[in-house]
Amino acid sequence: MGLDIQNAKFLSLCKSLGVDYGFTLTFGRQEVVISDLTKICPCNPSTLTDSIENDKYADSFLRSLGASKIDVCDASPYEGANIILDLNQPPPNSIEASYSCVIDLGTLEHVFHYPRALQTAMSCVAKNGHIIIATPANNLMGHGFYQLSPELFLHALSEENGFQIIL
């Protein structure tokens, strides 16, 4: 899991489409795996160059997108997660409908009980919030427990479940 060039561009595009990153939850601590985030930073990069280039994790980049608070959910505190949760289990009530933006850049497919993990991610989104999922799809053998089809997201994130897909 990490912030690569494609995910960084995608998150920046989402910002331009109106995503509010104010109170963000990430599943897994997102490690920066590209060398120069300042080239795609949506704000004035000169104000963030040092913090973005020296940050092992994506926190500074998320702040450049407008995140004033970032929570990290993971199975252990190893990389500094502040919400310790086995995603095979239901989430605590304290995080439900709490976040303006929920981000999964490659964690949920590693959870054995994928439907429960996806339900948790969906339940954390506040009214009028956004969920951003960038996960490997079909034909990526040996990565995680599941190969996911776009059909899954079209059905799970449907209007009948309280979501609207923005293309």
Query: What residue numbers bound the domain in which 120 lies?
Result: 2-161
* Pair 4, 33: CB distance under 8 Å: yes
In-domain check, residue 155: yes
**What is the per-residue pLDDT for 49?**
45
- State residue 113's pLDDT score: 95
Task: Give me the pLDDT at residue 42, please.
Answer: 56
CATH number at residue 132: 3.40.50
* Three-state secondary structure of 61-74: HHHHCCCCEEEEEE
- Output the pLDDT for position 55: 75
On whether residue 73 sits in a domain, the answer given is yes
Tell me if 114 is assigned to some domain.
yes
Is 45 part of any domain?
yes
Question: Per the domain annotation, does 100 fall within a domain?
Answer: yes
Residue 166 lies in a domain: no
Segments in the chain below pLDDT 50: 44-51
- Domain count of the chain? 1
Structure confidence by residue, pLDDT tens digits, 33-76: 876 565 655 554 444 444 455 678 899 899 999 999 999 999 99
pLDDT of residue 165: 82
Residue 167 lies in a domain: no
Q: Please choose, from the candidates 60, 78, 58, the residue with its C-alpha nearest in 3D space to the C-alpha of residue 68.
A: 60
62 within a domain of the structure (yes/no): yes
What's the pLDDT at 47? Answer: 46
Decide if 35 contacts 45 (C-beta within 8 A): no
Can you say whether residue 80 is alpha, beta or left, with left for phi > 0 and alpha for psi between -120 and 50 degrees? left
Answer yes or no: are the C-beta atoms of 132 and 51 closer than 8 Å.
Answer: no
Cα-Cα-Cα-Cα torsion 70, 120, 99, 109, nearest 10 degrees, comes to 50
pLDDT score recorded for residue 43: 55
Distance (Å) of CA 4 to CA 8, 19, 54, 91, 125: 6, 19, 15, 28, 24
Which residue type, as a one-letter code, is found at position 99?
Y
